[in-house]
Amino acid sequence: LCTNKLSVDHRLLHHLIVHQLLPTGGGYAKLSRMQAFLMWCIISKVEFCYPLLMLHTMVRAFTQKKSVIPFGSILTKIFRHHEVRLEGEIGTKLKREDTYNKSTLNRMGWKKQG
């Protein structure tokens, strides 16, 4: 399924999944089975084991030749909360697609009403 066929609400949910919940490399124009499953779980309010999903995603990332560790911003928050020393680590700024603002929502087709 091509993501441009999704409703605006579902496109926003897909965007959150591919950039935050289940970060993957590559294009975002097609909906993967896992992305569709996560969308269904969220829409249907069906629970899923997010830590296990994170673990599988990280293991998959380490088996690929060119990859970076996924969930960097989430892991950084967890490490800071537990006072893990991060000296020597190279910080990176968030990319535009990792933030949500009026411009991001406009590009997805959301329109302010009222």
* Separation CA 40–CA 34 (nearest Å): 10
| 19 within 8 A of 99, measured Cβ to Cβ | no
Which one-letter amino acid corresponds to residue 64? Q
Task: Give the model confidence (pLDDT) of 42-86 as tens digits.
Answer: 999 999 999 998 898 888 888 887 776 778 778 888 999 999 998
pTM of the model: 0.69
Which residue do the tokens 């779980």 mark?
41
pLDDT exceeds cutoff 90 at 109:
no
- Phi–psi pair at 38, nearest 5 degrees: -65, -40
Task: Give the model confidence (pLDDT) of 66-77 as tens digits.
Answer: 776 778 778 888
Strand partners, 30: 2
| 110 within 8 A of 8, measured Cβ to Cβ | yes
